């Protein structure tokens, strides 16, 4: 059975992240494609958390190696935005690119929930543009913003509950 920490993360994945993913698929295009990359990053972070829950804190070199997959997936989200600067969905891509950094809470130099909150604030700059761009066009985009920011806020609450001062290691 998974640790309470991993179970809590699973609840985050089943919550607003699942809603964000579903709405991204409905919107389609670059938004859908980037959401696939986000899912991969979330899955990589979950695998890391499973490992962390079952062991003592590693050396810095080991930790870096353990986080390689999550890092690669996060970078892929950011690279996708950079490769699609001409996209009509660029503000969506930028919102997610700014927000995906929240997964870095596991090595944040500050309290994890405060770190996630900073990333939410960064994402909001672009989500506000999405809301403005689609205000009178398609309510689905407002739902997308609500789901994405909601997902990050659920991640913030998760870190506060399960990793209040820093990532909690298992043994």
Query: Domains in the chain, start-ordered, CATH in brackets?
Result: 4-163 (1.25.40.330)
> Looking at residue 136, what is its pLDDT?
84
Q: What is the pLDDT of residues 13-69, one digit of tens each?
A: 999 999 999 999 999 999 999 999 999 999 999 999 999 999 999 999 999 999 999
- Whether the Cβ atoms of residue 81 and residue 42 lie closer than 8 Å to each other: no
What average pLDDT does this structure show over 3-16?
96
Burial of 83 from C-beta contacts in 10 A (0-12 / 13-18 / 19+): exposed
Distance CA 131, CA 45 (A): 29
pLDDT at 128 over 90: yes
> Looking at residue 24, what is its pLDDT?
98
């Amino acid at each position: 059975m998974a640790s309470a920490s991993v179970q809590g993360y699973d609840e985050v994945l089943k919550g607003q992240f699942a809603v964000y993913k579903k709405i991204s698929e409905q919107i389609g295009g670059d938004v859908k494609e980037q959401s696939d990359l986000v899912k991969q990053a979330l899955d990589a972070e979950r695998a890391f958390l499973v490992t962390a829950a079952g062991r003592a804190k590693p050396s810095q070199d080991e930790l870096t190696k353990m986080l390689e997959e999550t890092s690669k997936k996060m970078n892929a989200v950011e690279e996708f935005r950079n490769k699609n600067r001409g996209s009509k969905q660029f503000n969506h891509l930028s919102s997610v690119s700014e927000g995906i950094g929240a997964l870095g809470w596991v090595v944040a130099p500050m309290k994890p929930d405060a770190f996630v909150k900073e990333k939410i604030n960064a994402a909001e700059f672009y989500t506000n543009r999405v809301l403005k761009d689609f205000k009178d066009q398609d309510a689905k985009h407002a739902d997308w913003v609500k789901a994405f920011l909601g997902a990050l806020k659920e991640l913030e609450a998760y870190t506060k509950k399960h990793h209040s001062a820093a990532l909690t290691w298992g043994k």
